[in-house]
Amino acid sequence: MSNDSPIAPQPRRLRGLARFGIALALGVALGVAGTSLYVRHLARASAAAASDPVPSGAQEEAMRQQRTQLRFTQGQLDAADGELVIERAARQELETQLRAAQAEVGRVRDQLAFYEQLLPPGPEGSVDIRGAQVERAGQGLRYKVLLMRSGRNGGAPFSGALRFQAVGTLKGETVTVELAPMQVKSETTPAPEGVAAGLALQFDQYQRSQGMLALPEGFVPESVTITVLEGDTVRATRSVKLEL
């Protein structure tokens, strides 16, 4: 019989099939063994969980406490955020007010410079009443006075006082009375002896003074004369007629 006969390869195929069957059986056995090991691992984990010394009720209580602490902490954070928003708004408001005040100061300075250019300056060191306003206010007179000093030589400040005299009628007669302050708001230092509080003057270049003047009972003022005194010497004077 020839070696090329188709019957000759059969023993090789049988041996190959045998090897495949053995490998398959070995794989199945290993798979079963692995599955068994995994099942036993799950069983041990379940047993360990069942034997946990901390009961489930204690765990729930611990979780509730943690949730309570979390809510408390969140509340504190929310409150802090609210305070931060309020502080930020207050700071912005203060910054806005500061900018407005700075703008007002700049406007007043510009006005003073403008008026100083319009009005001819007096001799070096002389004092002028650059602005004066007097008007009725209840039982008194409200006044505003702006004083300026000529020159910028940096010498000693001017020291003096204001005096207010009013002309009007009292009991049907025309009289002149000296008016004392009722309320005063000024940039002055404490008044020296003999000068009414708030009427003392001490400044280098300019000063504003404003306040209320008391009127004698029954006196009807028609005009007010404002005088700037340096000691007993008159340095400036201005008369203001009151509106009826």
Task: Decide if 180 contacts 214 (C-beta within 8 A).
Answer: yes
pTM of the model: 0.48
Distance between CA atoms of residues 72 and 184, nearest Å: 55
For the ranges 9-23, 91-105, 152-166, the maximum mean pLDDT occurs at 91-105
Judged against a pLDDT cut of 90, whether residue 18 lies above it is answered with: no
Answer with the residue of higher pLDDT: 31 or 61.
61
How wide is the angle at C-alpha 112 spanned by C-alphas 111 and 114, nearest 5°?
65
pLDDT band at 228 (very low <50, low <70, confident <90, very high): very high
* pLDDT tens string 122-166: 555 688 898 899 999 988 999 999 998 876 555 688 889 999 999
| Confidence category of residue 79, pLDDT binned at 50, 70, 90 | confident
Q: Are 127 and 228 in contact (CB under 8 A)?
A: yes
Domain assignments of the chain as residue spans, ordered by start? 58-118, 127-241
**Residue 107 corresponds to which amino acid?**
R
Q: What amino acid occupies position 85?
A: V
Residue in the block written with tokens 């009725």: 136
Classified by CATH at the fold level, domain 127-241 comes out as Immunoglobulin-like (2.60.40)
